[in-house]
Every structure is written in C-alpha cells, then in structure tokens.
Amino acid sequence: MKGLSSKDRMILGGAILATLLAGFLGHDRIGPVPAFLSSGLALSLLAVVVGEATDHLGSRMSPGATGVLQSGLGNLPELFVCIFSLKAGLVDVVKGALAGSILANSLLVLGIAITVGGVKHGTQKFSSEPPKMMATLMLVATAALIMPTLAHELHTPASQHEVPFSAAVAVVLLIIFICTVPFFIKGNPAVTPAPHDSPEHAWPLGTSMAILAVAGVGAAFVSEWFVAALEPATKAMGLSQAFSGLVVVAIAGNAIENLVGIQLAARNKPDYAMSVVLNSSLQIALALTPLLVLASFVIGSTPLTLVLPPLLVVGLVLASVISAFIVYDGESIWLEGVALIGLYAIIVSAFWWG
C-alpha cells in the first residue's frame, strides 16, 4: 500500500498471515491448543497494527488529542476479547483479564521499561507531574474497584446488593474518566507528557483509516476465535481460567502499550514511556472496566461485578502503591525495574493453581 515502509509491510503481512492461520486452526482441525496459541499471536500482531495506524493518524492531531485516541483505540483488542468472554459466560476470565492488564502494565511493562532504559542510559530522569497525576488517579480508581470486594468479604449490608453496587461504582468511575478527557485534549501539563516524535513518514490519511478499520474488524473475528479456544485449551494445558485471564489474555490484549512503552524507554524518552504505560492502566481502570460492567447487563447471562478474589485485590493495591512510589521522585534506575518484574512474577504465580 502507498506510503508504507518495508517494516510496516512486514508487520501488516505478519498480522494477515497470523489471522489466516488462526482462522484455519480455529475450526479445531488440530486441537484447541494450537488454535488458542495462533489466535493469541494474531491478536497481539493486530494490536500492534492498530497501534501503528493510530500513531500515524494521531500525527495529524494535537498531542493531547493523540493521547486520547491512542488510549481509546489501544485497548480495542482487549475490549473485543472481554465482550466475547462475557457472551460465553466466562466472567472469571474477564475479571482476570482486566485486573491482569492493570498488573501487567503497572508492574511487568513498567518494570521492563525501567530496566531496559536504566541498563542502556543509566539513571533516567523525567518530569514527575504527569506520572504523579496518573498514579494518584490510579490509586483512587483502585480504591473504588476494591470497595465491592471489601463489602462482600466484611458481610456489610451492601454485600447483598453486589450487582447494583458494582454498577454504581462503574458510573462514578466513568464520570471521573469523562472529567479527565478535557485535560488530556487540551494538553494540560499536569497530565499530558511532552509529545514524542511523530512517524518519520506519516501514512496518508486514507491509508491510516483503512488499515485501522481492517485491523479492528480482524481483531473482532480473532477475539471470537480466541475466546472459543480459551476454555478447552486451558483445560488441555492444565491452566485455570483465572490464570489465563490474568496473564495470557491480559498480555495479548495489551501488546501495543507493552511494545511502545519499552521502546520509548530504550530510546531514552522516559517522560513519554512512563506516561504511556501508566495511562494504559488508568484507562483500563477508569473506562474499560466500568464500561464492561455496564455492558454485561445486556451481554451474556451473568452480570459482571467488581467482587474480586481478596488476593487479587491485594495485588492491585500493591501495584498501584509501589508504582506511585517509583514515579513520584521523577527518576528511575534499573534495579527498581527488576523489583517490579519480580513482584509481578510473585503475584501471578499465586494464581497458577486457580
């Protein structure tokens, strides 16, 4: 296609081949495990394509509007996976995927980015204002998300009304998210980092929109195949639904932020790297999670509540608090990144058995 570099063509071609392979294996021709793995690979590559198209499309907008566009479309593959999971009644997978995305971005991806950046460039310093604001909002969002679990575990009167209570929390979180949008669009320095470099050769507008549309449709189909293979594949591999959602679905659906945040840190752009990674967790907590809670009333037969396993709640709190501590001083070293990666490994390993 016109305007695409050889690298862009390779990424797009790989996504197309992976999607065709996932479609071929998705009809249980070999078994659920190959179908599951191939659809997971296709989902990750399509997420990268969505990210590339969004980046080129955003190069024609203001930095703030670009950030909003990237946040909204970046989670598109994970949104499709969660919707199809809700339709299939896999509520535990959705809960695990949402919590796992927050954990993966706040600990694993942030840890890898800090480690890579620290090893290559030593101590990395960044403007602490945008990360501090995002970390503060993330702490508020985490506090709101864990309230239904606390009510359930403490057997308060609210525990008898988990569904409406979760819906009320979702509405409040969406209101907070809506209030943050003007700050991002206007490029308020408290929440918007300095813009990163635009693509050297921006795609034509028509090309960007066409690729974005095709990748979005492809992600919808692959997400359905991914969810269809999820339950039989996890049983064949001896994995629980909780662990699959917490690790496999979360990482596959967040390939965009995983790749971009690490690349920016490696290029010695810690300001934008921190904001990209932290903003991804924030959007999942403030927008994607409450939207799915409300959507579950019309999708599937089981409403999605915010009552989570207590151990998972503790993990979310630890991730939010520790990542906030690391970004508050405006600098990072590689050892902090290693510590974050280690904590992520410990938390997810606790769910290996279910």
The per-residue pLDDT for 111 is: 93
**How much is the average pLDDT of 172-181?**
90
The per-residue pLDDT for 22 is: 85
Number of neighbouring beta carbons within 10 Å of residue 270: 26
The per-residue pLDDT for 129 is: 78
The secondary structure of 230-258 as a DSSP string is: HHHHHHHHT--HHHIIIIIIHHHHTHHHH
The per-residue pLDDT for 274 is: 83
Confidence of residue 133 (pLDDT cuts 50, 70, 90): confident
Q: Is residue 319 pLDDT above 70, yes or no?
A: yes
**How much is the average pLDDT of 301-305?**
89
The per-residue pLDDT for 193 is: 57
The per-residue pLDDT for 1 is: 54
What is the domain partition of the chain in residue ranges? 6-349
**How much is the average pLDDT of 168-176?**
95
Confidence of residue 346 (pLDDT cuts 50, 70, 90): very high
The per-residue pLDDT for 183 is: 74
Confidence of residue 182 (pLDDT cuts 50, 70, 90): confident
The residues, ordered by sequence, that sit 6+ positions from 9 with a Cβ below 8 Å of its Cβ are: 1
* pTM over cut 0.85: no
CA dist list (Å): 279 to 17, 102, 275: 31, 10, 6
Annotation: CATH topology of 6-349: A middle domain of Talin 1 (1.20.1420)
The per-residue pLDDT for 97 is: 87
Query: Please, what is the angle between helix 129-153 and helix 310-328, to 10°?
Result: 160
The per-residue pLDDT for 89 is: 84
Length of the chain: 354
The per-residue pLDDT for 294 is: 94
pLDDT digits (tens, 9 = 90+) for 25-74: 876 667 788 888 888 888 878 877 877 776 776 666 655 555 556 656 66
- Between 15 and 68, the higher pLDDT residue: 15
